[in-house]
Amino acid sequence: MLDAKAVRRDFPILDRKVSGGKPLVYLDNAATTQKPTQVIDAMDRYYRETNSNVHRSIHELGERATEQYVAAHERVAEFIGASSYEEIVFTKNCTEALNLVAYSRGLRELKPGDEVVISQMEHHSNFVPWLEVCRLTGAKLRIVPLTPEGMLDMAAYEAALSRRTRLVSLTAMSNVLGTITPVKEIVKLGHEAGATVIIDGAQSVPHSATDVRATGEDFLAFSAHKMLGPTGIGVLYGRREKLLEMEPFLFGGEMIGRVTNEGATWNDLPWKFEAGTPVIAEAVGLHAAIDYLDALGMDAIHQHERKLVERAFERLAHLPVKIIGPPPSKRGGLVAVEMEGIHAHDLASLLNDQGVAVRAGHHCAQPLMNALGIASTVRASFYVYNTPAEVDAFVAALEHARKVFQL
């Protein structure tokens, strides 16, 4: 079992007092997570002892920086079950990783009559790129609906697949509903239709064990900052044969093999997709974050979050709030709620007054909100350092808000 109280000692920011001296209750982890001293120290050591550009330097610092940068690719590959570091591309964030596939594969390959399948619950980063690519290519965007419970409608998904389907891009876990989707089945059905399958793992990779060889997706995108790592670095996993087929997304230094007045050739994988000076210190931080998560154990993390969600459901049952999405057994570590009579932004502000940090709004999922007939929600999202007492503090702050509004 994960000992959240012991874990908290590694996160100096959690000792902060906010809102006039109240203990910080940080429940905005689906937006970004806090960083342990191990990650902060690793990046600090890099800048103090190793800082240099990578790949072509032949001096000691450059060689050492290159070793650490390559080692970060290898560590990510190990963490998600990839075959080689060649299948790991570092990007700016998960959004850029998804855009890389949308533009390097979708924009170059789709034509009128082709179809792209996504779902109603996608984050804008896995919705808007496909809207734009379909607009530019004349391909058709097919959007899979949800069941009344808030799950992906698998019958509708299967019906959406056809001989015209070229790309499927679906989330592994909704950042609003918490819905966990059956990735292995999604991939199997997509491949049977002849489609390339992309999985948005921004909300899944940080919270449960990932094995891309077991699930079989062609691409997987996620961000370091949602898994205790730094901002500014994301990951695109791509099966080697798929990446070899693709042209680069960005052009310039580092990603080239040879340049002449007449043209250019591209570097080996994964470097052909990493134009310019890369995210070196951030890669070092991501490596440290993965080491930290592995030490805790991904199964233990998943079970810890499940217990927090179950506690939240139990406590919220006594309040006049509506929880959006499926029950605890079918969701990840977050709850999004509505309280009738209070706008989500006002509610979040009142929670902040009690020291409770949550997210309010449409959560970059406006098509989902429109389908649900909801303008906005308050979302509490849990991670390794959150405790049952903080779940209770969240519920108590909601009760305080209800009394303030005399509901």
Q: Tens of pLDDT along 321-352?
A: 999 999 999 999 999 999 989 999 999 999 99
Mean pLDDT of 373-400: 97
The two beta strands, 356-357 and 25-26, are: parallel
Q: Would you state the pLDDT for residue 406?
A: 77
In CATH, which of 3.40.50.10440, 3.40.50.300, 3.30.565.10, 3.40.640.10 is domain 41-294? 3.40.640.10
Catalytic residues: 364
pLDDT band at 207 (very low <50, low <70, confident <90, very high): very high
Q: What are phi and psi of 187, to 5 degrees?
A: -65, -45
Q: Where are the domains of the chain?
A: 4-30+297-404, 41-294
For residue 57, name the pLDDT band (cuts at 50, 70, 90): confident
Asked, colleague to colleague, whether 4-30+297-404 and 41-294 share their fold, the answer is no
Helix (H/G/I), strand (E/B), else coil: 167: strand
Q: Residue 405 pLDDT more than 90? A: no
Q: Parallel, antiparallel, or unpaired for β 140-144 and 165-171?
A: unpaired
Nearest Cα neighbor of 304 from 217, 405, 384, 215 is: 384
Nearest to 384 by CA among 180, 222, 207: 207
Of residues 95, 121, 108, the one with CA closest to residue 186: 121
pLDDT value of residue 7: 98
Q: What is the pLDDT of residues 120-129, one digit of tens each?
A: 999 999 999 9
Compute CA 292 distance to the chain's CA centroid, rounded to the nearest angstrom.
Answer: 18
For the chain, the residue count is 407
β 334-338/22-23 pair status: unpaired
CATH topology of domain 4-30+297-404: Aspartate Aminotransferase, domain 1 (3.90.1150)
